[in-house]
Structure 1
Amino acid sequence: MTPSASRRATCAACLRARSACICGFAAPLASRVELLVLQHPLEVHHAKNSARLLHLSLPSSRLLVGEAFAAAELDAALNADGRRPLLLYPHTPGEAALGLPAPPPLDPAGLAQPEALRLVLLDATWRKSRKMLYLNPALQCLPRLALQELPPSAYRIRKAHAPDQLSSLEAAVHALSRLENRPEHYTSLLDGFDRFVEQQSRLFRA
């Protein structure tokens, strides 16, 4: 294989060029809350996207790619094994004007058993995530978990409109840490993310 062909070869696990493989940054961890990532198709091959690293780091997680999912497929993914799905998404103004119903209230008592929860993460830009929510009524019916009092993001390779706008990986880590009440458990995942960010910074500087 020629050097140029080697650079173009793709890793089957992370879907990136072998020369930019991120599998070495993944530190597999067990999570009590199961993670379901719904990834917009435009994010799949985006070099700065962190959801693939997140998925590789949580072996029990599931990642589905799409914008408008078949109702039966999405229902099965949300409710598999009897877990209670919870959407990681903020309450935002203007949803009623879009015809979106108010989400059901989040029952704090339902958070007492992390092993019975499924955290649903929309991996997309803000605009695309709103469209995914609009196109999939089953997501509109989920109680929401909104993150608050967040630290600044380390995601310096992608533009954010506020310091606390996190990458998909960071948002998932903070949500899982709070739901499971064990923040130190996910330290290695954030360490891997820092290495991923540094790699991408070098590649974009090259």
Structure 2
Amino acid sequence: MNSSSSLGRAVCGRCLRPHRTCVCALARPTAHRTEVLVLQHPQEQRQAKNSVALLRLSLAHCNVVVGERFEPRSLQTLLERPGRDTRLLYPDVPAAPAPALPGATSDTPVRLVVIDATWRKSLRMLLEHPALAALPRLALDAPPPTRYRAIRPARRADQVSTLEATVQALAMLEGPAFDAAPLLDAFGRFVAGVADRQRPGASARPE
């Protein structure tokens, strides 16, 4: 299925990326029970290096909402899900301390909220939305080295791609029942493909 972007380029109707960088063939359906809500900064949506399209296609319970500033009532509606414990995937940082709230019980299904943005923009989104800042946090435990650094440098050693961070969070929440290997392997191929296109002399065909 074809569609066109606002720039007039033909894009894939499924992954919403230009055909040259379509990731549909890389998608690996991955069983999971945790709901995932990605709040994606508009600038990330236009990034050819962004991993969220692959994540969305691989996770059945993943919703992506693009925006930078959300109306409070609309955001609250997005965050709330009856019968689920909503958690924000974000570290406890001095600029935005995590609220002191009780943890979830082990049998409570979780709705995981993920901010897809650069570190600076994600912090700004957090500070500008009290409903986000008030959510209980889920922080990653010493994430393994990222494959993302091959195509997108990071300012901090613990920074990883949105896909890698979400996958590690799901593994923490669901334990051995969550098999991350196929999706991480697909992500590795995605990174390799982007790196190939970035090499000097690579084809410069328009997207």
Which category of TM-score, normalised to the shorter sequence, fits these structures? 0.7 to 0.9
Asked if residue 87 in structure 1 is aligned to residue 81 in structure 2, the reply is no
TM-score, reference length from structure 1: 0.87
For the 8 Å contact 1:106–1:144, the answer to whether it is kept is: no
1:132 is aligned to 2:114: no
- Conserved in 2, the CA contact under 8 Å of 1:15 and 1:45? no
The equivalent residue for 1:41 is 42
Contact 2:33 2:61 in 1 (8 A): no
Using the TM superposition, give the Cα deviation of residue 70 of structure 1 relative to its aligned residue in structure 2, in angstroms: 1.7
Please name the residue that 2:100 is paired with.
105
CA positional deviation for 1:184? 5.7
Q: CA deviation at 1:83?
A: 1.3
Does the CA contact (< 8 Å) of 1:106 and 1:143 recur in 2? yes
Calculate percent identity across the aligned residue pairs: 48
How far apart are 1:33 and its partner, in Å? Answer: 1.1
- Larger mean CA deviation between 152-161 and 70-79 belongs to 70-79
- Higher mean alpha-carbon deviation, 119-128 vs 85-94, is at 85-94
Query: RMSD of aligned C-alpha atoms?
Result: 1.6
Preserved contact between residue 37 and residue 62 of structure 2 (Cα < 8 Å): yes
Query: For 1:106 and 1:161, how far apart are their aligned partners in 2?
Result: 30
Contact 1:90/1:144, CA 8 A, preserved across alignment: yes
Q: Deviations over 1:104-155 (max 9, x none)?
A: 23534x15126x1111100000010011111211101101111122211111
Gaps of 5+ in 1: 1-7, 96-101
Aligned to 1:121: 114
SS at 1:181 equivalent? helix
Q: Which has the higher helix share?
A: 1
Give, in angstroms, the shift of residue 17 of structure 1.
Answer: 1.3
* TM-superposed deviation, 1:174: 0.5
Q: Aligned match of 1:204 in 194, 198, 206?
A: 198
Q: Normalised by the size of structure 2, how large is the TM-score?
A: 0.86
Aligned to 1:36, the other structure's residue is in SS state strand
**Which residue is 2:65 aligned to?**
64
Deviations 1:142-193 (A, max 9, x none): 0111112221111121011234311000000001001101276111110110
Q: Paired residues, what number?
A: 191
Cα distance, 1:60 vs structure 2:
1.1
Pairing of 1:1-80 with structure 2 (within 5 A): 8-80=9-81
User: Partner of 1:81: helix, strand, or coil?
Assistant: coil
Distance across 2 between alignment mates of 1:29 and 1:201: 25
